């Protein structure tokens, strides 16, 4: 039987780490839905039309290792505003969620739009400053030359765009368990997430 865990929240709140750990804990498959928008964004930066690219997207497009750059993140959040781009990506996400054996999907609108009937819903958040610091460490660790102020500006710009768009804005589902990771270690945040999923089983 399908068991879906929907994990939403803003950029760099810890969703990715928590989602992977929850999926590993329960033996569920994991889909980072941000990769779908990043894959569209990357192809748009290369000259593609957003809706055409989204309609033709295939799983292999999610494997490219150039998807984790700040430029692609901004392009992703720009194409994510387009309603026809979002609707082109719905089926793939819902099919993933419905697979046998359980699935964890993380993104911005999983608990509200993609899987409103998910058995477990989590909303992971943290202060913008905290998230910028984490992203800064991650990006400089990969050798990118960027300042903390730039990263904070990017995080705030994406938050504003993701929260204010008309279609599927970033918002916690009414029935989501809220986890603020600002002052939590990774282990503590994962333990809370696992407990919330267990409570829903
Ligand atoms: O999560 P990640 O930072 O990879 O997402 C990149 C961008 O894709 C987000 O800023 C957001 O605009 C968009 N996105 C979305 N809906 C999702 C996942 C990501 O709009 N479910």
- 38 Cα–ligand 1 center, Å: 7
Q: What is the largest distance, in Å, between two alpha-carbon atoms of the chain?
A: 47
Mapped onto helix, strand or coil, the DSSP state of residue 22 is helix
Among protein residues, the one with the nearest Cα to ligand 1's atom 11 is: 77
Among protein residues, the one with the nearest Cα to ligand 1's atom 1 is: 34
Ligand 1 atom, smallest distance to 37 CA? 8
Look at residues 146, 98, 84, 129 and name the one whose alpha carbon lies nearest to residue 1: 98
The pTM assigned to this predicted structure is 0.94
Q: What are phi and psi of 89, to 5 degrees?
A: -100, -5
Average pLDDT in the 76-83 region?
95
Give me the pLDDT at residue 201, please. Answer: 86
- 98 Cα–ligand 1 center, Å: 21
Report pLDDT digits (tens) over 11-59: 899 999 999 999 999 999 999 999 999 999 999 999 999 999 999 999 9
Report pLDDT digits (tens) over 136-190: 999 999 999 999 999 999 999 989 988 998 998 899 999 999 999 999 999 999 9
The interface pTM score, or ipTM, of the predicted complex is 0.98
Query: CA 131 to CA 83: how far, in whole Å?
Result: 27
Give me the pLDDT at residue 70, please. Answer: 86
- The partner residues of 122 in beta bridges, in order of sequence, read 7, 177
Mutate to test the pocket of ligand 1, among 41, 76, 126, 162 (most ligand atoms within 8 A of CB): 76
- Per 3-state DSSP, the chain is made up of helix, strand and coil in percentages (nearest 5) of 55, 10, 35
Query: CA 94 to CA 31: how far, in whole Å?
Result: 11
Q: Is residue 71 scored above 90 in pLDDT? A: yes
* Contact predicate 41/70, CB 8 Å: no
Which residues have C-beta atoms less than 6 Å from ligand 1? 11, 33-34, 37-38, 73, 76-77, 80, 107-109, 158, 162
């Amino acid at each position: 039987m399908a068991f879906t865990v929907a994990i939403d929240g803003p950029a760099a709140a810890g969703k990715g780490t928590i989602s992977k750990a929850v999926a590993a804990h329960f033996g569920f498959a994991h889909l980072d839905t941000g990769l779908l928008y990043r894959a569209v964004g990357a192809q748009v930066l290369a000259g593609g039309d957003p809706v055409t690219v989204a309609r033709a997207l295939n799983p292999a497009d999610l494997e490219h290792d150039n998807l984790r750059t700040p430029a692609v993140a901004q392009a992703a959040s720009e194409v994510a505003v387009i309603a026809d781009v979002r609707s082109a990506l719905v089926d793939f996400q819902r099919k993933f969620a419905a697979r046998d054996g359980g699935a964890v999907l993380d993104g911005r609108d999983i608990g509200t739009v993609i899987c409103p009937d998910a058995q477990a819903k989590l909303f992971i958040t943290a202060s913008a400053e905290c998230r910028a610091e984490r992203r800064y460490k991650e990006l400089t660790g990969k050798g990118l030359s960027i300042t903390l102020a730039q990263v904070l500006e990017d995080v705030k710009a994406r938050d504003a765009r993701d929260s204010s768009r008309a279609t599927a804005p970033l918002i916690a589902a009414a029935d989501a368990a809220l986890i603020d990771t600002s002052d939590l270690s990774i282990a503590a945040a994962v333990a809370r997430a696992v407990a919330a999923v267990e409570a829903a089983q």
